Structure formats: structure tokens, C-alpha cells
Chain A
Amino acid sequence: MTWLVWRQHRVQVYLGAALLAAFAILIVITGIQVGNQYHAAQAACAAGHGCRQLGGLFLGSHAVGFLIISTLGAPALVGLFVGAPMVAAEAEAGTTQFAWMQSVTRKRWLTVKIGWMLLAAAIWGGVISALVTWWEGPNNAVQLDAFDPGRFDIMGVVPVAYSLFAVALGIAAGALLRRVLPAIAVTLAGFIAVRASIALWLRPHYLSPVTAFYKVTTGLTPPGSYWQIAQGVLGPSGQQLAQPNNINYVNGVPATYLPASCVQVSRGAFTPPPSCMQALSHFRAFITYQPADRYWTFQGIESGIFLVLAAALIAVTAVTLLRRDA
């Protein structure tokens, strides 16, 4: 069975390997540059000048940065071009009737095929994620944003789980629809819908977020790459203040709530006078966030969800193909 799977899909394997190799070369070369930039910036910081800039520094070129962000879509590719055609293309061409009339049960055919497809998907997601995670290391250290939506999704172990889910979704769609193009369309739509809804609505609640209150005059930044979910300012009576875009703020407090002494009149450095500080001391701020040390817990929970979904889709495929007439 493995021989046939290899013979059928070797072009896809070569193509996928070539893409991965090209990506790896680009990432390794630019990643070394990023590392050098980072160490240079660190050295400059240690020498005592230019340290302020480090926080805003974007390491690496924007073109590669864009490529890195676009690896958000990489798991979908394996679902569209490997998963969806697996059953659908054979059903469309009628070749299941060739494979299933050899001395191989449908169960074995399915097990071997799905096994190799899952392995391929895991390698695809794993290699891309490993390269991206390594490349982004310095950026994460500087910008402390590895936990943020969009960056959490392209690093660590979740891309492997997404890839496994995508390929399982493609296989199931192909088995149910038996047509390649509809299966590809359903896979794409399904992948985006599931990924987006879990990232937007489920992920923030894997563990109850932490809320910290602080005085606006002191400020508070949680340590490390935390994930900020909400923040706001509370007025003297404890009510949360609206934060429209088009007004001035002093330490996060809308200037409309503050005496005139808080408003900066001239350009340049501004130190609020004591009367302003007095007014500000009545305001409190809060930040709701997932602490940085939960990063790997969240990676694990998110991966677990997608692995369970992938397993369910494979069960659907098996029931569809083994129970239904060929």
C-alpha cells in the first residue's frame, strides 16, 4: 500500500520538499542577519546608548517579515492540496474501484493513506513552525509579543496541530463530497471559520485572565510576553471611562476629566505640575491579560482542541468510506 501511496503522491512530496527547502534557506540566511542585528543592538544597549530604540526595533527585512506572517496560511495549503484530493480525486477518476478491488481492505487502504498524509502534514507544519519560531526569537525578546494573536498562531506547536486538522478536514470533505473542487472550497472555508472562531472566542478563555489594577501615575506592565486582553481607566467613583480616539490623554486619562494644568501647551518635554498629579491620583487603571508563563499551556490547549477536531474528522471519513457503498 505504501508503495502505491508513494507512487501516487511523490510529485506532491517533491514539490512540498522543494518549497520547504527554499523557505528554510531564506529563513536561515535572514535569520542569521536578524541574530546579528539583535546582538549589535544589545551590545549598544549595554554600552549605554540607543537602548530606548530597542523596544521599537523591527529586526529583519519587511519582505521576510511578510513571508513569516503569511505562514498563518501554510497549514491550509496542506489541507487544500493534499487532504482534499486524497479521496475526492480517486472517487472522481473511479480509481478507488481499482485500489479497492486489489487484495487490500478499504480499512487498510484508508489507514495507510491517512497515516502518511498526517505524517506529511505534521512535518510540513513542524518544519515551518520551527523555522519561524527560531527566526522570530530576537523579535520576541525585543517586542515581547509572542503571545499576541497572529504571532501565537505561527510559532510553537500549534502550527503542527493546525496542519493535522487541515489535512483531516480536507480528507473528510473529499470523502463526503467525492469531488475535488467542492472539497477544496469546503476545506478552505471550514479551516478559516474554525481557526478564526477558536482564536477569537475560545482562546482568551482557556484560563481565566488576570486583572491587575494600578494607579495611573505609577503605571504597570506585566512581565514578559503577556497577552493583553483588555485595559481601561476607572474614574474617581470607580466608573470605567470611555476612551475615544480623537481626544488628548494624560497617563491614559482623558484630558476632559483633568484640570487645565495637565494639558501640555507647548511642544517639548512636559512634566505635569503637582496639581495635575493630585488630580491624576484619583484615577485608577486596570489591565486584563494572560500572563506570559501561560504561553505553553495555551499552546498545549489550542493544539489539543485541533487534534481532537482532526480525530473526529478522521472518524467521519472512516465511517463514510467503510459503511457506505464504494
Chain B
Amino acid sequence: MNPIQEAPGRALPGPAAIETSGLTKRYGKVTALSGCTVSVPEGRICALIGPNGAGKTTLLRLLAGLSRPTAGQVTVNGTTPRQDPAFLADIGYLAQEIPLYRRLSAEDHVRAGAHLNPRWDAESVRERLTALKIPLDRAVGKLSGGQRAQVALALILAKQPRLLLLDEPVAALDPLARRNFLGLLADGVAAGGLTVVLSSHLVADLERVCDHLIMLASSRVQLCGDIEDLLAEHQLLIGPSKDTTAIERSQRVVQVTRTPRQTTLLVRLNGPVIDPAFQASDVSLEELVLGYMGQDAPPAPAHLNTVGEKK
């Protein structure tokens, strides 16, 4: 027996569940995703964050094989997404619109899934929906939006995929259902063999469960990595409102916020900060994400005395 065993999970990045390089998707003249290079190791719960229209859905659809890249490579579970039962069996993709047959009941969907998938845990869906008091025999179109989302999520879990791609899955859920669902995902990942990508435009939705982050803005990847590493690599520097060129020379400044009294800098660290006028503090995920989103946001109105400065 080998006395030294690798800790499961995050100690070492395992094989990648998702690997893209220069992934680009254009619809006519519109570029929905541009030069996207990301990597998500197996066993992560990855938050895909970005403002509306940043390209989150485009990326998820490329990963699921529902659309084809204009340029670049994409590898999912070790292969290029393709029309092959074995590939499809390992992917669980839930579109934002929660596509279900409105006239069919949840039970019909469960049976359809049993006919269409090699692995299918029908009982888990029935148990879960019964526990949530969602009628199995009612047409899905007659359920509430939240109930429909629960049905769709239960179905996608019954497929027992290796990679779950969920587009805004919690948007339709109430806070309690949201917490329960995210807990369920965390359990699934902890049990092994599952990687999850969840998209949202709100960090707060996903912060609790995610350990990996892909941030998109304006069709480009702004950040990608383990959240712990990303937080460690960034710091907030707060100091008097003065010239910041010295810091900008040694650190990569992501965002500068100035008030008459003080200047706040979000920096990606290249080394220790030696300017004693500035006080360094850790950055929260929300501050980090907003900082990167701010890079492309228009400047705030001047009378608020805050300037989101483009670097």
C-alpha cells in the first residue's frame, strides 16, 4: 500500500473535464464568444459568471455540442463534443428556457428518459418530486415556473452525467429551493465523478457552492481559475487619493475607484506591495467579479464622485 495518497478534490488539478482554446462563435456579424480559453478540472463546481449577453449560453451550448465553434478547439470529457450516444450520455445540459414537453407529465418525461438513456435513475426523480410535493401526473405546462425547473433539474440528475451544464438553473427557484438544489449538487460532486458548470449573472447565487470560476464579459474570458487561487492572487489596496503610477508599474491594476478622500485599487499581484501609503486587504469574490465587470462598464456619473476607470 502506498502510504502517501493524494487527497481527493482540490489538492491537485485532475484531468480536465473541460478544455477550450481560442474558442470563437460568430452568428453572422455578431461575435458571441471570442478567443475563449478555459479549463475546468474534473470534480469542480464552476461558476460561469458574466453580465447579460456576455456569451455564457453560447459557451455552454458549444460545450454541450448543440452548436459548433466558428474557430478554436473544445474538449469535453476528453473528446470533441459530437453526435454520439456515449458522449451525450455523459452530458447533462439544461437550457435557460427549461425545455420540457408542456402537455406531457413529469412521469411521461421520466419514462421517456428511461427509453432514451443508457443510465437512468427514474426512482430518484419520483422520490425528489414527491418530496417537493410536485404532482408527477400533471401536465408540465400546468406547473409553476419553479416546479418546472425542479422537474427539469431532477430529470437531468437522473441521467447521471459526468458533466452538468446548467444555464441559469437557480433563476426560477425560490431561495430555499435554491439552497437545497445547490446542496444537492455539492453532494453529487462530493460523491465523485461529477463536474458542474452553473451560469448566472449574480455571484451571490453561486458563491456558496462553487470552487471554480469562469468570468465572461463582452464575449471574452476575463478570469478563469480556482476561486481560492483567484482570491489569493488579487488584493484591494486602499490609500489616499494620490498618484498611483508607482503601483501600476509593479502590479496589474484591474480597477481603480477614486473618491476625493481615497483611492481603491483592485490589483492582480505580481509581488509584494511595498507602498506604505496603501493598505492591502483581501478581496471578496463579489468585489473581484464586479472589478472585472467594471473593466468594460461605462464610467459612473461624475456627480457620484466615483470613477470606474478603464485600465
Residue of A nearest to B114 (CB): A3
Complex CA gap A325/B68 in Å reads 6
Contact B111 A102 (CB under 8 A): no
Within 8 A of B (CB), among A71-125: 93-107
In chain A, what residue has the closest Cβ to B108? A7
Q: How many residues of B contact A (CB 8 A)?
A: 31
Q: Is B123 positioned at the interface, with any CB of A under 8 Å from its CB? A: no
CA distance A7 to B101 in the complex (A): 10
Could you tell me which residues of chain B, from 92 to 129, have a CB within 8 Å of some CB in chain A? 92-93, 95, 97, 99-102, 104, 108-109, 111-113, 115-118
Q: How far is the CB of A319 from chain B (nearest CB, A)?
A: 14
Stretch of B48-56, B83-91, B260-268 on the interface side = B83-91
Residues of B within 8 A of A95 (CB): 99-101
The answer to whether B84 touches A7, judged by C-beta atoms less than 8 angstroms apart, is no
State whether the Cβ of A43 lies closer than 8 Å to any Cβ in chain B: no
CA–CA, A12 and B206, complex, Å: 44
- B93 closest partner in A (C-beta): A101
Checking B95, B112, B117 against A7 with a beta-carbon cut-off of 8 angstroms, the contacting residue is B112
Known interface pairs A7-B104, A8-B101, A105-B83; A326-B95 also in contact (CB < 8 Å): no
Residues of B contacting A98 in the complex (Cβ-Cβ under 8 angstroms): 99-101, 109
**Interface flags, A232-247, vs B, CB<8A=1, else 0:** 0000000000000000
Q: Nearest residue in A to B66 (C-beta to C-beta)?
A: A326
The verdict on B180 contacting chain A, using a C-beta distance below 8 Å, is no
Q: Is the CB of A103 within 8 A of B118?
A: yes
Kindly list chain A residues whose C-beta atoms are within 8 Å of the C-beta of B118.
103
Q: Please state if A103 and B97 are interface contacts (CB–CB under 8 Å).
A: no
Q: Distance (Å) between the CB of A153 and the closest chain B CB?
A: 36
Is B99 a contact of A93 with CB atoms below 8 Å?
Answer: yes
Distance, CA A59 to CA B221, complexed state (A): 78
Q: Which residues of A contact B279 (CB under 8 A)?
A: none
Q: Are B92 and A101 in contact (CB under 8 A)?
A: yes
Q: Are B66 and A103 in touch, CB under 8 angstroms?
A: no
Residues of chain A contacted by B66 (CB below 8 angstroms): 97, 100-101, 325-326
Among B92, B104, B116, which residue has the most Cβ atoms of chain A within 10 A?
Answer: B116
Q: Is A198 an interface residue (CB 8 A)?
A: no
Instruction: State which of A8, A103, A106, A326 has its C-beta within 8 Å of the C-beta of B116.
Output: A103
* Interface 0/1 of B252-275, CB less than 8 Å to A: 000000000000000000000000
Looking at A4, A8, A99, A103, the one whose CB has the most chain B CB atoms below 10 A away is A103
The answer to whether A101 and B88 touch across the interface, beta carbons within 8 angstroms, is yes
| Contact assessment for B112 and A4 in the assembled complex, using a CB-CB cutoff below 8 Å | yes
9 further contact pairs, Cβ within 8 A, besides A95-B101, A326-B61:
A1-B116, A8-B104, A93-B101, A95-B99, A96-B99, A100-B66, A104-B88, A105-B85, A325-B67
Q: List 22 A-B residue pairs with CB atoms under 8 Å apart, sorted by A's residue number.
A: A1-B116, A7-B111, A7-B112, A93-B102, A96-B99, A97-B95, A98-B100, A99-B116, A100-B66, A101-B64, A101-B88, A101-B91, A101-B93, A102-B88, A102-B112, A103-B116, A103-B118, A104-B88, A104-B116, A105-B83, A106-B83, A325-B61
